[in-house]
Structure 1
Amino acid sequence: MDYLSGYVSNEDFYETDDDYSDDKANANYTILDEAEIRRRQEEQISHISLLLSLSNDQASLLLYHYNWKVDKLQDDWFADEHAVRDKVGLLINPINDKNIDNENEEDDTCKICYDELEPANCRSVSCGHKFCVVCWKSYISVAINDTGAGVLSLKCPAIKCQAAVTRDLIVELVSKEEKEKFDEYFVRSFVEGRKNTTKWCPAPGCDKAVEFVLTDGDSHRYDVTCVCSRAFCWNCGEETHRPVDCELVAKWTLKNSSEAENTKWILAYAKPCPMCKRPIEKTVGCNHMTCSAPCRFEFCWLCLGSWYDHMGCNRFRVEDRDIDEKMRKHAQLYIRRYSHYYERWASNHKSRQKAMDDLQRVEEHDLSKLSGRVNTPTTQLEFVVQGWKEIIECRRVLKWTYAYGYYLEEDKKEDKDFKIKKELFEFLQGQAETQLERLHSCAEIELSRFLKDVDGDDDDRTMYNPDDMDFSKYRAKLVDLTKVTGTHFEELLKALENGLPEVDLDRKIGRNTSKKRKDSASSSQGPQGCDHLLYGSWQCDQCTLH
């Protein structure tokens, strides 16, 4: 589908992992597995080691400290090598503690456990401080298990010593389990140190990373699909949310979970007790209200006067409560508007989740069953899977168009073209939604006719009969609906992401967008009964009028 960030086409968007990798050749993001991350790490380590005449372990320490930014490391190193060494902890000469405060102290004891040191059982780093192997093992083990990735920047255990502990010493002394942990931290540092260009896939259990390069003119195209099938926005980490931007997604998500919405509901559908001011909701028809304990004040729901001396409130009086009533009505309108967009947003979200479950069932069970019923290899039934995946993606897009619509109306005071833009938006959204419902019905209901069993308690279940419906016609219908639905949503995305530019075009050339939309919507059907109307022309592959 072209509207999926332009990365892959409709025909091969949901293929195997091998096909997926081929499709990414010209994309602006690359999926990295662990082997590729290690290969890139070793490539950079070898480059720095050769260029700076350092060991691989020293080069890896420098790259980790510089977040694997080779150019930055090279610039700083050649500008002031000693400053970089001091900053990272790669000392050229060992520290001579005897010149400071240890003139009378022998160097043949471990400064942690005070056991005698033998050449075979002691180790040191660039500073020259020697400790026994047992103390080194304990020190590094605690760092791996307690500080996690902090072990990658571990310093010498001597007091105030900033000499770095290199990878070779750690790998030599730790256990196999701890070595695996350290190795994992080291691999992950390559991704987490380059957050501006590389991030982990957020799917639970997925160990793939995504390297992303934003191209000019594609500032709104952050959509990424990992090989695990998780689609997400590389910029914010949420699910892909075109046509809305990350800021609007954050606002909408916060709004849906905000307690402020509860407050507005109380204002719209409750009234304060005249005595204690607690909000009260009317649940019965009688206007005689009694506040809960300990207040127990009795009053009239309409005029909020005391019930004991209440003589009727049928006469109109201009009082301060009229202002409260206006505020309440305004809040009710606000709640209805929010509910309109939220309910449709949530409905499409649930429909998408159901479609994902249906797709899994189709791939695992229905395709093989359908293959036997219609005498067609499963490889030739891929169009069914493509239809379902088109539904899933279109449901996602449609869901976020309702968030777009909510904020489009909220900004109407600042936009003089609001009315025209709203009509254009609702027209495009309605056309796309109608087409999606046709596709969903075709994939869900019409396909079930070929899958019904002859057995069962339900008398309505019957074996598929070729006379009831020609499968070749069903195939042509589903393929056509899949393509046309994709076209509708592609045009919808283009219009919304470009700020509905046709509104400006209509104003410049003196045409009324509203009239054009109404005329288009009420115009005759396309050639041969086609009703795939968009922008005043027919967009399906069977039509030629444009």
Structure 2
Amino acid sequence: MDSDDDLYDGDCGYDDEDEAMEGDDDGAGDGFYDDDDDCGHEEDPVRRERPLEFTAIKKESLSMAQQQDLSMVMGMFNIKQHHARALLIHYRWDTYRLNDHLERKGQDRMLMEAGVVLQQQESNSAVVPPPAAASKKRTKPSRKKTKVTCEVCFEDSSPGAFWTMDCGHSFCNDCWTGHFSAALDGGSKQIRCMAFRCPAICDEDAVRRLLGRRDPAAAERFHDFLLRSYVDDNSAVKWCPSVPHCGRAVRLAAADGEPPACEVECPCGACFCFRCAAPAHSPCPCAMWARWEAKGRGEGENVKWMLANTKSCPKCFKPIIKDGGCNLITCKCGQHLCWLCGGATGFSHTWTSIANHSCNRFEAEEKKKVDDARRHVRRYEHYYTRFESHDASCRAEREQLGPAVAARAARLEALGGCLLKDASWLGSAHQSLLACRQALARSYAFAYYMFDGEETPTRPPLEPGGLPMVRRQDLFEDYQEQVEANVERLSKLLTELPEEEEEVLRVRQHAVNHTGTVEKLCRQMYSCIQDELLPMLVEPMSIMSYQPGGPSKATELPA
């Protein structure tokens, strides 16, 4: 989410000092928002999480970022860099998992499973067949010993034209190069030895060197593969999904296993979910958001509308829409049909019946099918129009209201005065408005799937005497309604900023109160989703905790 100032630290969770505030009946509150005010509300049951730290890595810095993990593994196992890379790729760059397996499996088994074969001798020498037992009478070496036969192409070459990998297999440089090129064309980041059933990973330096002699572009592509593996095979690093791509990857610091549900803002301004790499979508779970976006891109709703409002001609199969009149329909192709059942008929009819045609036994079934299709369309329309309305309002408040609020804050601070010298409250209120407006829009995508038993199966309450789904839905919609009302009040307040000093002081008072109120209600809506609604799903889902300042901000990795 774009913002004018970095007003929050981007933690997943909220500070210990955040408390509920006392407000008036409409949720606005007339008094100053006081962090120390005890209004009697119980603390929200939201999990307090450790702050998450993100680092943005440019493509030219990926090598330096990799080197930290490579150096650690090289020292831990006393192995070379290409062995450490093979081991990390095998464990998807998860150093926590690697340490755990080291304790349980031991180093030798881990290296074997990762295809790492340690070279017995440091120097790379050609494998020359040992000479046969020579007669004591022979004084001159055989000329055949100056040539070595490659077991792939069966060509004889000098020992200098052969390369031996760590596993001990030796083939001519031409065969190795052809093998490397074929593996690269197949998309392999790790190239294994071409000996039969040999699992060893080839030395990346040898791959680059041999490829570079024949095809420098292929050697560069292999180097790029190794760099990209740090992102593509690493659950703690994601490419920024910005379009056009900003060229950055974002790394979650100290990620133990699968990354938690969280959202991050790249320095380029793109906000995305770190778990699924989709645009930021909380409080809608990843699975529901994927279905919502696919639904918006697809033609499913058009088909449902056609089913609910049209009939197909039994002759030319073109869709027909009926706008008043009796049930006898005449298509442009000349075919007559009954609107109730869609079957072909004659032309003779009265207002209430068609001659020699009866479809009364199908009427109830047809009506139910049409009613169901119409209900699905209207239900989707209800949630989509509200989602789109809040999404459009958020864009306008970011692109138009944001610069206006920043300019107004600058003018207030320029005027000075003991009461107006700090106008940071304007930026805080605007940032909270954007965060809550986005959460409100996405809550309609969540509600569309959460409360549709056909698309999202639910289970009865697990605890005895637990609230039924209808009551939980009422609770959620009550929070959603309160968030919506207070977001609109805050937006109107920031849009109509006065010029008089006395009025500015009054607006500041209401803005601080509204900011605290809308954040508290938004936090409660998140808690309701996590604690009351998601446990009812047959398919387990989770969402991130409420972040009052929006997604966590990634800091740029120094070059």
TM-score range, shorter chain: 0.5 to 0.7
Which stretches in structure 1 are left out of the alignment for 5+ residues?
12-23, 450-464, 502-546
| Greater share of residues in helix | 1
Aligned to 1:237: 277
Q: Secondary structure of 1:54's match?
A: coil
Whether 1:153 aligns to 2:203 is no
Contact 1:154 1:165 in 2 (8 A): yes
Whether 1:297 aligns to 2:335 is yes
Alignment-mate amino acid for residue 51 of structure 2: A
Alignment-mate amino acid for residue 31 of structure 1: T
How much does 1:430 deviate? 1.1
Alignment of 1:158-169 (within 5 A): 164-169=201-206
Write out per-residue CA displacement over residues 55-105 of structure 1, whole angstroms, 9 at most, x where no aligned residue: 3444444444444454346765644589469x33545377847479xx957
Task: Give me the whole-angstrom Cα distance separating, in 1, the residues matched to 2:82 and 2:340.
Answer: 80
Task: Give me the whole-angstrom Cα distance separating, in 1, the residues matched to 2:176 and 2:405.
Answer: 51
Aligned to 2:430: 388
Alignment of 1:436-515 (within 5 A): 436-443=487-494, 445-447=495-497, 466=500, 470-499=503-532
Aligned to 2:34: none
Contact 1:272 1:278 in 2 (8 A): yes
Alignment of 1:332-481 (within 5 A): 332-358=374-400, 361-362=403-404, 380-411=422-453, 417-443=468-494, 445-447=495-497, 466=500, 470-481=503-514
Alignment-mate amino acid for residue 283 of structure 2: P
Write out per-residue CA displacement over residues 185-232 of structure 1, whole angstroms, 9 at most, x where no aligned residue: 33432343332x44344333252323277899x998433444544333
How much does 1:435 deviate? 0.4
Instruction: Work out the number of aligned pairs and report it.
Output: 460
Q: Which moved more, 1:397-406 or 1:197-206?
A: 197-206
Alignment of 1:84-123 (within 5 A): 87-92=115-120, 96=127, 98=129, 106-107=146-147
Aligned to 1:54: 79
Alignment-mate amino acid for residue 391 of structure 1: L
Structure 2 CA distance for partners of 1:244 and 1:164, relative to 1, 3 Å: closer
Write out per-residue CA displacement over residues 341-393 of structure 1, whole angstroms, 9 at most, x where no aligned residue: 12112222222233332366458867656766889999944333332322221
Alignment of 1:27-46 (within 5 A): 27-31=51-55, 33=57, 41-46=66-71
Whether 1:313 aligns to 2:352 is yes
Structure 2 CA distance for partners of 1:243 and 1:117, relative to 1, 3 Å: same
Contact 1:61 1:166 in 2 (8 A): no
Q: Secondary structure of 1:313's match?
A: coil
Residue among 251, 264, 267 paired with 1:210: 251
Provide the TM-score with structure 1 as the length reference: 0.65
How much does 1:280 deviate? 1.7
Structure 2 CA distance for partners of 1:185 and 1:345, relative to 1, 3 Å: same
Q: Percent identity?
A: 23
How much does 1:494 deviate? 1.5
Alignment of 1:130-209 (within 5 A): 142=181, 147=185, 150=188, 152-155=189-192, 164-169=201-206, 174=212, 182-195=222-235, 197-203=236-242, 204-209=245-250
Contact 1:2 1:490 in 2 (8 A): no
Alignment-mate amino acid for residue 310 of structure 1: H
How much does 1:128 deviate? 6.5
Aligned to 1:6: 13
Aligned to 1:129: 170
How much does 1:322 deviate? 3.6
Task: Give me the whole-angstrom Cα distance separating, in 2, the residues matched to 1:317 and 1:58.
Answer: 76
Q: Which moved more, 1:318-327 or 1:32-41?
A: 32-41
Structure 2 CA distance for partners of 1:9 and 1:363, relative to 1, 3 Å: farther
Structure 2 CA distance for partners of 1:125 and 1:375, relative to 1, 3 Å: farther
Alignment-mate amino acid for residue 350 of structure 2: M
Alignment-mate amino acid for residue 321 of structure 2: E
Contact 2:62 2:227 in 1 (8 A): yes
Structure 2 CA distance for partners of 1:172 and 1:300, relative to 1, 3 Å: closer
Task: Give me the whole-angstrom Cα distance separating, in 2, the residues matched to 1:60 and 1:113.
Answer: 33
Q: Which moved more, 1:230-239 or 1:65-74?
A: 65-74
Q: Which moved more, 1:198-207 or 1:164-173?
A: 164-173
Alignment-mate amino acid for residue 241 of structure 2: P
How much does 1:340 deviate? 0.8
Task: Give me the whole-angstrom Cα distance separating, in 1, the residues matched to 2:428 and 2:533.
Answer: 29
The structure with higher relative contact order (CA 8 Å, sep 6+) is: 2
